Amino acid sequence: MYRSNTCGALRASDIGSEVILSGWVHKVRDKGFVAWIDLRDRYGITQLVFDQERTSKKLLDQARELGRETVIQAKGEVIERASKNPNIPTGEIEVLVTELTILNNSLLPPFTIEDETDGGEDIRMKYRYLDIRRNPVKNKLIFRHKVSMEVRKYLSDQGFIDIETPYLIKSTPEGARDFLVPSRMNEGQFYALPQSPQTFKQLLMVGGMDKYFQIVKCFRDEDLRADRQPEFTQIDCEMAFVEQEDILNTFEGLTKHLLKEIKGVDVEEFPRMTYDDAMRLYGNDKPDIRFGMQFGELNQVAQHKDFNVFNSAELVVGIAVPGAASYTRKEIDKLVDWVKRPQVGAKGMVYVKCNEDGTYKSSVDKFYDQEDLAKWAEITGAKPGDLICVLSGNTNETRAQLSALRMELATRLGLRKSDEFAPLWVVDFPLLELDEETGAYHAMHHPFTSPKPGQLELLETKPGEVKANAYDLVLNGNEIGGGSIRIYDKEIQATMFKHLGFTPEEAKAQFGFLMDAFQYGAPPHGGIAFGLDRLVAILGGQETIRDFIAFPKNNSGRDVMIDAPANIDEEQLKELHLKLDL
């Protein structure tokens, strides 16, 4: 037996007990006549004590020589701690060691295994197995486990069945690039790693498994950022014999359950907002509604003056920043510089200070009088003491730029509080998006999304106006889940493929298995997929997913710990019938 107790378990009630502990040496403190070791494992820290009055000289000398992160086993008696530590659960006791065994020595770690470490991100990712020993990372992984278990519990209690689907599948055009896997047994042919189990879960509905879920790895070969990894985890769900409202109610229930069980927060209201309103009021389809600053469109009151910047713009739009009229000219200039960065792309920014006395001071006073600016304040909802920030230009670009500014200002003003949770359903997305370069339509979600009831006929005449029977669940400005009611009729699916530019032959080659299945009594069905990594991060009070993943990749898609991806041996390439052309 390596241990009778963990390093976080012992309390004053254990005084007098003989125990065996095993773990890592966290710290050694040597006072000459006495030495203390903080012994650490996943569960906590227990102080071990060695003193010359009660411990042999050999044991005391052995303790003094121990290096950090050495793995040891200690046997001894639990005694009352003379100098108690109220900051740790085991702070009332210590263990007087009678036997000490070194299980494995350690090199000096490249960074300190402390909550506040001296290791930068690159070095910590290279030695991720050491980083996981630190409380911030360890606790995030434990937190992820708790969320996953609550998801499984809720869905199982609701009658969902956990079913695995294949990882080696067929490459299909779903938006992002597939990761491809060559097949040795089928020369010149490739599997793809799934971007999602979309077609499989639909086939499970055809198979009569009317409530499916899976916590599953998915893969997309796309550029990375803080909240994106090449491999990510979905809570993938599908239901048969349901309409949109059934799915929204079911997964509102899951979200409420997680917020209650994980965070102790009761959230009753899940507002609904159309995609068009989200874009008009917030400039994006995943608005953070924990704070205001809704967009106010100013074309009617800002154009047709002598200010050509606005007159030539497709959209003039502003937000009221609460309490920011006190910003100095230098602070406002920094905001202007911020929106002009390449990452945002605005050409400039107009501002209006709403003074406490009811007057207005603007960077465009030359073109607009007090009555004009009062109308701007009314439309944006600005009050005395607020600052109105106005951008203009192409509609889509300007909305995106003002959305970025809104989020940046909210962060600076402390309005994005991690302990507040504001869920939102965004519904009525466009079914199709027009590629302005090619003039072709592509599916906004995926090719299996059903049009809203009664809009199928519009596909032939006004495809860009057709709304999808689709929905996204947004939490604190992040899309945490998205799904749709699916097409389950072969003819409707064929029509959809036609509008996406597939010939009948191409549709048959890519999705013939699904079309064939629809001929054997496919039920009405729909589903949703949650991004587990992002959901866990938001519940954990953060928006960066990397620390909630045991072994993440960096922004170049590399695992610097195992040095992957890596070159393949020439013999392996030959066996797979592959040649490199670099």
DSSP 223: -
| 479 carries a ligand binding annotation | yes
| 534 carries a ligand binding annotation | yes
- Give the residue from 178, 164, 260, 175 showing the smallest Cα distance to 216: 164
In this structure, the number of other CB atoms found within 10 A of the CB of residue 564 comes to 10
- Give the residue from 458, 524, 536 showing the smallest Cα distance to 144: 536
- Give the residue from 213, 206, 205, 239 showing the smallest Cα distance to 161: 213
| 531 carries a ligand binding annotation | yes
As beta bridge partners, residue 221 has 177
Cβ–Cβ under 8 Å, residues 416 and 408: no
User: Torsion over CA of 257, 258, 259 and 264, rounded to 10 degrees?
Assistant: 80
Cβ–Cβ under 8 Å, residues 315 and 394: yes
* Largest distance between two CA atoms of the chain: 93
**How far is residue 453's CA from residue 499's CA, in Å, rounded to a whole number?**
18
| 3 carries a ligand binding annotation | no
Instruction: Tokens for 541, please give them.
Output: 């009070």
| 458 carries a ligand binding annotation | no
Q: How many CA atoms lie within 13 A of 516 on its CB side?
A: 6
- Give the residue from 212, 82, 116 showing the smallest Cα distance to 526: 212
| 221 carries a ligand binding annotation | yes
| 222 carries a ligand binding annotation | yes
Instruction: Tokens for 322, please give them.
Output: 């609460």
| 465 carries a ligand binding annotation | no
| 69 carries a ligand binding annotation | no
Q: What is the DSSP string of 28-93?
A: EEE-SSEEEEEEEETTEEEEEEEETTTS-HHHHHHHHTPPTT-EEEEEEEEEE-SS--TTSTTTTE
Query: Residues annotated in the binding site, as ranges?
Result: 174, 220-222, 229, 445, 479, 486, 531-534
Query: Residues annotated in the binding site for ATP, as ranges?
Result: 220-222, 229, 479, 531-534
Query: Residues annotated in the binding site for L-aspartate, as ranges?
Result: 174, 220, 445, 486
